[in-house]
Amino acid sequence: MFINRKSELSLLEERFKSNRAEFIVVYGRRRVGKTALLLEFLRRRGGIYLLARETSEAENLRRFSQRIAEHFGDEFLMKNPFRSWDAFFEYLHQRVGKRLAVVIDEFPYLVKGNPSLPSILQEYWDLKLSKGRIFLVICGSSISMMEKLLGYKSPIYGRRTAQLKVSPLGFFEAGEFLPRYSLEDFVKAYGILGGTPAYLLEFDDSKSIEENLLDYFRPDSFLYGDARFVLMEELEEPRNYFAVMEAIARGKTTLGEIMNETGLERGTAAKYLSVLSDLGFVRREIPVTASRKSRKGRYYISDPYFAFWFRYVHPNADLIETGQGDILVELAMEDFNEYLGWVFEEIAKEFLIRLNGSGRLPFRFAKIGRWWHRGEEIDLLALNEREKEALLIEVKWRDLSERDARRVLRTLEGKSTLVRFDGAFRFGLIARSVEGKDELREEGYLVWDLEDFESLISPDAVG
């Protein structure tokens, strides 16, 4: 099943149509759907797919020889496989006359087997392949290694014609994986799984969230084991990284709070946070009105799958390992709505970004994010500094009566006096459901709930 990835496919299609030599680097965390994307592209355009394995160089060359020989109908190559990467690239140079896509997946495995491979590729690209019409794609899941290959010190630095980092799907795209869920249930599922296709495919939308969690909380479950596998592939000293991520999942978001929770010294904690940020597992946020040099940073786990895993699964692994997953389901459900508050804020932010520029907002914003100052917080603050307009939004994962909604909006208006912004303020609210939202809109408030999200669940609806 191939779902969405329209922008990624469009990028590849555009490059393919250029009809000049292209060298594209595709990378991203495991399970996000890189291989599915590339196979779908090859299904549409044709070409050769070569999957590297963590085996010997000779074995990978033999397998690649077989795939290429099958494509070109070359009996000689079938019986006499490549013995070096020089022979491999020279063959491609000699045989690729017309436009041909060649995809090498899990490229880091090849580099591990032969660290000189990037230099060999550099030489052949510079002297031969770049003069032809080849469409060469290298792909990898080790983010640290792939970013080294893109870095200044890499032999292939400056040779790539494009790079594509494949990320998990956003909330509105991911909904296509579980179409039988109500929007409310999909918010819950997204809070558990995030937007990674491989994880979304593990849930059955004919079952309740609790029934799916019973399948998740088993020792042999893919969802249970994969977080550890993905993290340990990228990280050294995983114990301390895990402690940092568990602290963040429990709501300890400042450096000081993380230090107190983990017992790590400031320099050590900062180092771990920097690595986690570079790999995309954690992100640092500052108040949206602050300068980039602000020291008011807070840290959040980027992906709901890991946030959920570190909040509920990792601390309670003993329950899963001893076959008591049903107890963990009860524990998680007791706290789940509080946890979903953070997830729903992220979904609300995505909702507003998709509306931005659609004509359904009073102005187009250039910045959006959280705001906080001396104990007061605003969930979302959208700014157009040039036009001097600001939109302040409170996000509530609750069903609000009209009276509750008015109370929230009055409180928000009070907080606006603390925001240093020379311009006009507008006020809004996003909740699970809001009674009397039409009346509130007539009074000038911007109010949305899950009912309004329905129009954006199709990826082509806006933007």
The pLDDT, as a whole number, for residue 2 is 66
pLDDT band at 459 (very low <50, low <70, confident <90, very high): very low
CATH of domain 6-165: 3.40.50.300
Question: CATH fold of 171-342, please?
Answer: Arc Repressor Mutant, subunit A (1.10.10)
Section 26-36 average pLDDT: 90
The proportion of the chain whose per-residue pLDDT surpasses 90, expressed as a percent, equals 81
Distance CA 101, CA 71 (A): 12
pLDDT at residue number 430: 98
Whole-number pLDDT of residue 311: 97
CATH architecture of 356-456: 3-Layer(aba) Sandwich (3.40)
Q: Given a cut of 90, is residue 455 above it in pLDDT?
A: no
pLDDT, tens digit (0-9, with 9 covering 90-100), for 254-291: 999 999 999 999 999 999 999 999 888 999 999 999 88
Give residue limits of the domains in the chain. 6-165, 171-342, 356-456
From 60-64, 295-299, 305-309, the region with the lowest mean pLDDT? 295-299
pLDDT of 462 strictly over 60: no
**For 158-187, what is the mean pLDDT?**
92
Please give the pLDDT value at position 234: 84
Give 153 or 253, the one with higher predicted confidence: 253
pLDDT of residue 381: 97
Residues 6+ apart with CB under 8 A from 346: 171, 304
**What are the phi and psi torsion angles at 80 (to 5°)?**
-130, 80
Judged against a pLDDT cut of 70, whether residue 461 lies above it is answered with no
pLDDT in tens, 371-380: 999 889 999 9
User: Which of residues 120 and 236 earns the better pLDDT score?
Assistant: 120
Place of tokens 């309004």: 452
Provide the pLDDT for residue 387: 87
- pLDDT for the residue 143: 73
Confidence bin at 151 (pLDDT 50/70/90): confident
Predicted confidence band of residue 306 (pLDDT cuts 50, 70, 90): very high
- Amino acid 72: pLDDT: 95
- Per the model's pLDDT, the better-predicted residue between 342 and 151 turns out to be 342
- Rounded mean pLDDT of 180-186? 96
State mean pLDDT over 75-84: 96
Q: What's the confidence (pLDDT) of residue 378?
A: 97
Which band of pLDDT confidence, cut at 50, 70 and 90, is reported for residue 1?
Answer: low
- pLDDT, residue 203, reads 98
Q: How many CB atoms lie within 10 A of CB 360?
A: 14
- Give the up-direction half-sphere exposure of residue 348: CA atoms within 13 A in the CB hemisphere: 29
Q: How far apart are CA 43 and CA 58, in angstroms?
A: 28
Per-residue confidence (pLDDT) for residue 457, from 0 to 100: 66
Position 303 pLDDT exceeds 80: yes
pLDDT score recorded for residue 388: 93
Which residue is it, tokens 């329950």? 319
Q: Can you give the pTM of this predicted structure?
A: 0.90
Quick check: 155 pLDDT over 90?
no
Q: How many CB atoms within 10 Å of residue 227?
A: 20
Mean pLDDT over all residues of the chain?
92
